[in-house]
Amino acid sequence: MALDPSNPLAVPSTLPFGLVDFAAIRDEHYQPAIEAGMAEELAALTAIAADLAPPGLANVIEAWEHAGELLARSLGAFYARQPADTNEVLDAAEAAIALAVAAHVDAIYLDRRLYDRVVALNVRVQANEVALDAAAAYWLKRKLEAFERAGVNLPADQQVSLRALNARIAELQSAFGRVALAGMNAAAVLVTEVTELDGLSPAQLEAAAELAAERGQEGWLIEITNTSGQPALDELSNRGLRERIYRAAIGRGLGGEHDTSAIVVELARLRAERASLLGFPSPADYVAAEGCAGSAAAVWELLTKLVAPAVRNARAEGAELGEVWARLAPGETFEAWDWQYVSERLRAERYALDSAALRPYLELERVLHEGVFAAATGLYGVTFTERPELRGHTGEARVFEVAEADGRPIGLFVADFHTRSSKQGGAWMNDLVAQNHLLGQRPVVTNDANLVKPPAGQPTLMSWDDVITLFHEFGHALHGLLSDTRYPSQSGTETPRDFVEYPSQVNEMWALDPTLLANYAVHYDTGEPMPAEWIQTLRGSTLFGQGYKTTEYLGAALLDHLWHATPLAELPTGADEVEAFEASALAKVGLDFDLVAPRYRSAYFRHVFEGDYEAAYYSYLWSEVMDADTGAFMLANGGLTRENGERFRRRLLARGGSIDSMEAYRDYRGADPDIVHLLRRRGLED
């Protein structure tokens, strides 16, 4: 399939670092470029399979890595743009692309001739006829595993069934994302009486009014975010409105126009069927076998061992909040929609600090430059220069050039910070260009967030959770920017899912570095630094609410696990069984605590029913075991220093997926991670 040469994606961009020329790309350019890229890659791989020369490094591994440059460029551009600013054209393209990519992956990894060619190379390596360095040897090992996990050794009739399953699963995942986004937008709560909005700042009120006007409504519109808990519940004193927002949030996808229940059930059942076809007891076993966890049993053990202490702490927190509530509203029963509001009142009472008081000191530009970027400079020596003449993947995206301490260029960081109705919820990182030496490419990475956009001319004020998210996602960005690998397929975050969150979680720790805090926590209007006692309180209050946070996380992680570990015969068969399955799953593990909802309920759990965290939401906790251990190690060795940064960069970040992840961890840390640091951080020690 020839691609029109006028398509901006047809050839590598001439912009700095190969940044995709988004200004020249129209919506209709993406799909044909991706389709042409798939055809081009298949042709190149077919040539590798048909090559009669003895298999070696150049004509198998490096030839494979050269294949698919057009596809990588086009997919990278599309999946940066579409989740951040979609429309009907891009939604339709995404639905078609999801099916085409699923078929494309099957065409590669179910190709017996191509598999035999890789096997033949492995035979030559084992016979010492071909010498491979460590990265190439690891490439070969992982490629063989990928073929075998994909089903290349299945009989022909079972491969036909597998292709059909993969196609339908891809179709359903795409549909879930579209319906969930529409449902999140539709769940926004309209307020027509300003008195109900007591607790919000003037800027927040103005932003809510502007949002309502944008959607053709009169009044103030409170957006619903990805998670069960909602930021507005921290501050709104009107209990009736809090209940409306809470119920709108947790009721998404369970009935009505944007019901995702049927998709959830069909996906869970098809994934179970596929895992069985591939020889695994469940999707959870299939996923864990490829990660650091190694088995679904290991995942289950980690998650469930934390349930009892987490719920115990959450119930104790709930009892204390109930006492505060009894003082605030005598005779009123304490409910789930009261938790965040009362928690903030208790935080203010106990620490003289609450989220509303913090916001004026957490202004985006200051946090970004004096916090997030400054931490990277302190650790790795890298610097950031904004390039306003370059356009990112959305009209609001900003582009920064990243350089070494001596001025040598590294790559580009592209950031789109604010929410919009065309943007999926949450925050994430993407690669536009993957660092690699084989093709001579420097990294171009993106971060997207969903900060509420302030009225024109006003600063973006953040919550403390927003600050942590900014540091977290930039940790992913650093993983891509500081990659130092030969092959594109091993660059940056191309690691097991239960390892990829580890470097990003490590980066969160620098948000509390005292020197950084003193520089970035400055009042946006007066220029006054955050009071020293507030900073001390902020650092000392890290255990506050950990019972709630751990319990809501475990609720989501165990829902994901049980949707993907439950035998097919025991899974729901109809949409009307989803809520009962959830309730049973949570009760089974002791998480049936009505005051704390799972961070995501099934009907809006986009990580696992749209994205690639299927049976892998546990990975945040698995990674945090390593993160907490690393944090303790770094703090014991001086904290935010170039020495600590260089060790972490060279022994871990730079290696990407060119080495077994746990081997890289042990090389960096000198030992396996000790879970005691995680238990201590979350207040779960006995």
Tokens 């987490």 -> residue: 310
Kindly state the tokens that stand for 486: 């030969």
Backbone angles phi, psi at 464, to 5 degrees: -65, -35
Distance CA 38, CA 70 (A): 8
Please say whether the beta carbons of 604 and 180 come within 8 A.
Answer: yes
Burial class (CB in 10 A: 0-12, 13-18, 19+), 502: buried
Kindly state the tokens that stand for 686: 């006995």
Helices (H), 25-155: 30-50, 63-66, 69-84, 88-109, 112-126, 134-150
Kindly state the tokens that stand for 173: 């995942």
C-alpha distances out from residue 448 to 185, 377, 416, 496, Å: 18, 21, 5, 22
Please say whether the beta carbons of 453 and 418 come within 8 A.
Answer: yes
Given the residues 94, 235, 473, 501, the one annotated as active site: 473
N residues, the chain: 686
C-alpha distances out from residue 634 to 506, 517, 554, 642, Å: 10, 18, 27, 11
Short-list 275, 270, 277, CA closest to 285: 275
Tell me the longest C-alpha to C-alpha distance in the chain. 83
Distance CA 483, CA 162 (A): 35
Distance CA 403, CA 432 (A): 18
Q: Which residues, other chains included, contact 332 with Cβ-Cβ below 8 Å and sequence gap of 6+? A: 239, 325
| DSSP code, position 612 | S
DSSP reduced 3-state for 199: coil
Kindly state the tokens that stand for 1: 């399939």
DSSP reduced 3-state for 676: helix
Strands 383-386 vs 409-418: parallel, antiparallel or unpaired = unpaired
β partners of residue 411: 402
Kindly state the tokens that stand for 153: 């050794």
Q: Is 473 annotated in the active site?
A: yes
Distance CA 239, CA 483 (A): 49
Please say whether the beta carbons of 74 and 490 come within 8 A.
Answer: no
DSSP of 402-464, one letter per residue? EE-TTS-EEEEEEEEEE--TTS-SS-EEEEEE--BTTTTBPPEEEEEEEEPPPSTTS--B--H
Query: Which residues are known catalytic residues?
Result: 473
